[in-house]
Amino acid sequence: MDHSITILSEKEKAILESYMLSADGLAEFWGENCEVIIHDLTQLDASVVKIVNGHLSGRQVGAPISEVTLNFVNKMMATPGMNHVTYFAKNKRGEAFKASISAILGEKHQIIGLFCINYYLNTPLLSFMQTFTPITKTESENISETFVENTEELMLNALEDAKKTVYSNKNKEIISLLYQKGIFNLKDSVITIANHLGISKNTVYMHIRNMNK
């Protein structure tokens, strides 16, 4: 394997660290049947520096890189523009999984690590459905999220939410809720909200000043 990187710079260590945070989030999203691994290619005999749901393969931090993964690394290094690969495989127990290997690039765009995902295909349907079924409000309040195309739409959605929350529709309370959400940090937010509330921008500024006191 032609791999000249023997030590990571501080910036490259930070790059690997950022992927470790992403590993936790991805594994939580897909559930306990998704294994996520971060490899540090400067230490092939103990390349696993992060693993989530390692019970699926029996590996833990400090485990070496696998032969299959190493072969794919060599292919990626030998093929310009090839920075990821997806394939199907089986573990020693004969359990099938879909795998993805993505290169983590260093300061000079060389491969310094790997972001790997293994999703086990023998996951019971019930377990899979539970992962993607909203929990009841007695366990945790479900979150309603609206995706917008511009900041004005964001302001107006926040305004409508505030109106629904404030039963009496009092402008002061609405502005207070928008202020707490950080809406007034957006450009032209005061004018936009004032126009839709039918009040002057000076009234909006007055309520904001009172909240800052």
Q: What is the pTM of this model?
A: 0.64
Q: What is d(CA 77, CA 172) in angstroms, rounded to the nearest whole number?
A: 60
Q: What is d(CA 209, CA 205) in angstroms, rounded to the nearest whole number?
A: 6
Vertex 179 angle, CA 166 and 145, to 5°: 70
Averaged over successive runs of 10 residues, the pLDDT of the chain (213 residues) comes to: 68 93 92 94 93 92 91 90 91 87 92 95 78 61 65 84 68 88 90 90 89 78
Task: Report pLDDT for 1.
Answer: 44
What backbone phi and psi angles, to 5 degrees, belong to 107? -60, -35
Q: What is d(CA 104, CA 85) in angstroms, rounded to the nearest whole number?
A: 13
Task: Report pLDDT for 138.
Answer: 47
